[in-house]
Structure 1
Amino acid sequence: MMKTDYKILVYSDNIDDVRLCQSYLKSSSTHEYFLIFQDSQNDFFTDIEQGSYDCILVSYSTQQQSDHDFFKKLFHLRPDLPVIILCDHDNTDMAIYQFKNGVSDFVETNTATPEILKYTIEKAVRTHEHMAAEQFENERLLVLVIDDNEDDREVCMRALRKNKDTEYDFVELSSSQHVVETIKEHEFHCILLDYSLPGADGITVLQTIKQHNPFLPVIIMTGQGSEEIAVSSIKNGADNYMVKSQLSPENAKSVVSRAVQYQKLNKLLIEKEKALKKIHIEKFQEEEVLNQIHLIVSDAHRPFEKRMKDILKLGTQYFGLELGIISEINFDDYHVKFASDYTHIKQDQLFSLGNTYCSFTFKSDTPQAWHNAGMSEIKTHPCYEHFGLNAYIGTKIFVNNRPYGTVNFSSKDARVQPFSEREKAFINLISQYLGHEIYRNITKNEREHLIDDLRGVNAELEQFAYQTAHDLKAPILSAIQNLENMQTQLKAEDVAGAQNTYSNVKKSLSQMDALIADILSLTFVSKIKEAPQNLDLQSLIDQSFEKLGHIHVEKNIKVVTDMGCRQVKSHKIRMQLIIDNLISNAVKYYDPAEAEPYIKVSSSQKNNSFYLSVEDNGLGIEPQDEAQLFEMFQRFHKAASFGSGLGLYMVKKSADILGGHIEYNRPASGKGVCFTLSLPVFSSNN
């Protein structure tokens, strides 16, 4: 921030006033004060003529009250400099009296503070700068002259008309009777008011004028100079006063122009102060809301859903709107995640994004707002036509630097004023808080799921290690025993026995090889990464039967296919693994006693899900075994066929990785099994 430098000349022989200036006018981060002190009048005027200053401080105790020539000389030499009088309470009337000579303001030293003194200096400097920047050349001023003496009115008007650089228009009143009506009918720049009017004194009329228009400059006119009248007039709101007998064109123009400019600037300053006060209030409200939001998000015992709703409630209070919503947006789906009030809207309610104002918000990098949609360019938008929302402000929410959805506040009632840039900046702050909280909640849930997954994996690993050791040990021990028997048989030259034992060894090693192959497949299932592609289901089914060497033909198993959906977009290797295992199980565990064994493979698509079913009328699953169906190393028909017991486990794991589900159902006939795979349909949306 740039500093403002003030070079100030202080004229005082009062040590208390000198110390006050030295103590109060210390440099700060925004202002730099350079003070020059003079206690000699001659040196003071020499400094004024030769030096460059921004403001002059004059201690009133330095001058005798009757020494009015001092100020006349001061303003004759430097009319461009603001002058502030330092005085005690007893001399305020005399300080006010010097306003007629051009004094900008005064400060009571016995009640002053550093802030008051600095503000008075800044205001005086700004006033003079503004007056210097705005000249009255070629400006036409409308002046109301109120005087019961026609000649006096003419003298005042003639004095002003002699100034060729400013044009004047006049309205005349000979009494105060129609003052209020007159100032309502015209936009006057200034009023010249006689102090003595028939039936009313000038002070009463002055107060009436100021009540109706406090920014209308009023200059009191008197027949003879009177300090008492001057002080009383200025205390009651007069901007200056003039003595009729001392009136001159230069004096009249100076007093009028200074009064007009001062009131113009004073009005601007007051309006600016009001605006600053409003900003201060808004900032205070923002800080309060942000403090409350901070307390909400810092409350570890407050559930996530309640934190979101509480933040939305604070937002509705700040913006003065009825409803706050946090949405998640996925392509054309507008998903209501949280709302401040569920009277007219439901949590998890789904809308088409195009039917919401957030269709504009989600496309924009800046907040979008309408204070009266029914009178705007979006009055034909479906959101206005369906819900009648007039006031709306919303912005995007980013979660982990990615667009997540929106936060928006709305109301059926229109707002009087458009949303300010400050309000738009504030909703961005709320969005940042929400994005952080949503991300924190997502990572918390993911962390909890990950912990659960790790626990499950650890349990599976323990079971896997134990079962693998057991299943590998059995064929190894069997092979060792058979090899020892074969050695004995060969020594006894029992060739036939040795050949039979050899077959048993080979069978044991084949079982071990199959188990190792399934273990390697399980590892492969966990690590494989591939992109989805369009798959021909019939081709995958045919390949599965080919891998089995068409053994189903030898076993006289009838194969039936019902491909309601022939094409699906998915991961080929995992889909092939699922189909291979389901068909392999159906073939291996067929029922030899069944007169007409069959395997039925069917597929279909409903809504956004794909279904694949493999059904048979084979040996089936006993009810007590159904709970362990998809666990590792589960074998239910050991006599029918050797297996590792990992097939259905790998099917379930692959289905989970694909975002789907595998379930078991007993066929309607009550015999055999039916496994159904359900998967989400891949599209451009996912």
Structure 2
Amino acid sequence: MATRKILIVDNNQDDIEAIQRALGDCEAIPYEFYVAPTEELSLELLKDQHFDCLLLDYHLPGVSGLELFRAIKAQAPTVPIVVLTGPTDQLMAASLLKQGAQDYINKFALNSLNLHEKISAAIEHASAFVPRRSALDCKVLIIDGNTDDIEACRRLLRKAPSEYTVEHAMTGHQGLAMIAGNEPDCILLDDSMPGATGLDLLTNIVTNHPFVPVVMMTGQGNESVAVNAIKFGAQDYLVKSDLKASRLDKVIGLAVQKKQHERQLLIKEQELEEAHNFLEIVFQSVPGYLFVKDKDFRLVKMNDHFLHLYGVEDQNTILGRTTFEDYDPVDVEYFLAKDKEAFANGSSETIEQITFPNGEIRTLHTIKQRFNDNTGEPFILGAAADVTERDLLISKLRKSNEDLEQFAYIASHDLKSPLNAIKKLVTWIEEDYGDQLPQGAKAHFDMIKSRSVRLGQLLNDLLAYSRLNKKLSDAEPFNFQQLALNAHELNAEFERFTLVASDLDIVLPKAAMQIVLLNLLGNTIKHHDKGYGHIQMDVIDCQSHYEIHYFDDGPGIPREYAEKVFQMFHTLKPKDEVEGSGMGLAMVKKVVEYYQGTVELVYGDKFTSGVHFKIVWPVHQVVNTLAHEAVYDQI
């Protein structure tokens, strides 16, 4: 089995190794590799050696892909070339295919089978363009009304270096019927046919059988006939009186080769057109605004979303322009600076508010990325997402938060001040007239004081809830057991409840975790039906998140209240029985969800009484800066 010699023209060692591994795994044919990382070395190797195929990466430093390709073809015109492209470079390979490359392949999708098939097809394709020296399958159809001329052509073809199967037709109608039944490899057509001119027949053949080569023949040299024959689609023109076997053989071989080349080129152009159409569909389907600018900041491509911002339907009114004159000079100065930054550094990103030519004022989150085409010319691709509505929403949320801060002030000052006055008045009345009050009045005064304390606690909880984000923090390492015990000791009557917690070092927002534990522990102690009990906290490190399981042995929470208990001001018992604002679990839920976690009640596990809270707390909160700010403002 013959070994194939492959020349890899590429300066990227990772790509070279990927190609060698892919072809090294091929069981069909063994491969021998030569590597040329520069133009000079590739041309030197081609000068001294023959290669079965050349794999070309056209992104070599110091030379454009097209220049390198032409230099290689000049040095070794018959070597088949497969172009190595990136995932979005298919269109760039089109120019090289038109210049004579056999095929292209995405080097990021290489495997043993597809690379071997591409190389095999390229070798076969290239060999088809070499003039035939032994062509038993080359069938020639002679269309000529003169039997002597037909016989003369037959004799010449029998003397030719190649071998031919020859058929003939005496009329144009007969010839067209034979072509329709079984296309020949080449047609020798007399320019003077009875009942029809050769050019009329040529036009019919070229129209209905575009890949069948036609060589026009005439009895005398006539330049006008030759020019018209080529103009109407013939591959060549021959004078019968000057024919020789070698000349006829060469003309037929080149005509067949040219048509085969045209057919293969058409197939590749169709593939490229399909790739172009697919990329265009993707480009137009992007919901945001896409545009491409050249080094002079002129728009060279855009999607329809971007075009509509100009209030026009035809891209040609925008393409090739910078459109600076359509914008406010301040806007132009800003986005031009970002264009220059992308060209200089490779990319830029910004949030900008722009007044577009159609009068719309939009806020855009714009990313610009530099890239080079196959000739090395730099461009920038811009992708802009319209965040106008999001920006308005953030503004509304900020306004709501300002109102909430104002409410917090009212709650802490304007409401608590008269409440404190009421408590003082009741105390003064008791001190001055306590002995004179009937027993029922004393009970009512006790109730007023109790309600005042409850309202004071409610106001304090509302204030804490509204300012909850002020207490939250970034992640830090701490011991969960120690934090849980410290939080437990802050609750009244904590001595009546035993606590067991996982002795585990974790990394989470410590202050936020303390708020969660304080409210969970306070909820258990406040609502326990016995006044004493046991609490257990288990922490599981799941790498991407922590699972925190909280158990107690209290009365539990009925399943129908599993969602309601996390709502503000909701309690399961009347406030006369259990003092509380009903905000503890709501605060737990708000803190956990701020960090993109979840909290839920779990039922049906091994514990037959009490509650089981399950908290999932992510380790890493990857949040977009603006989205995080919006959530932060909500809290």
| TM-score with structure 2 setting the length | 0.39
Larger Rg belongs to: 1
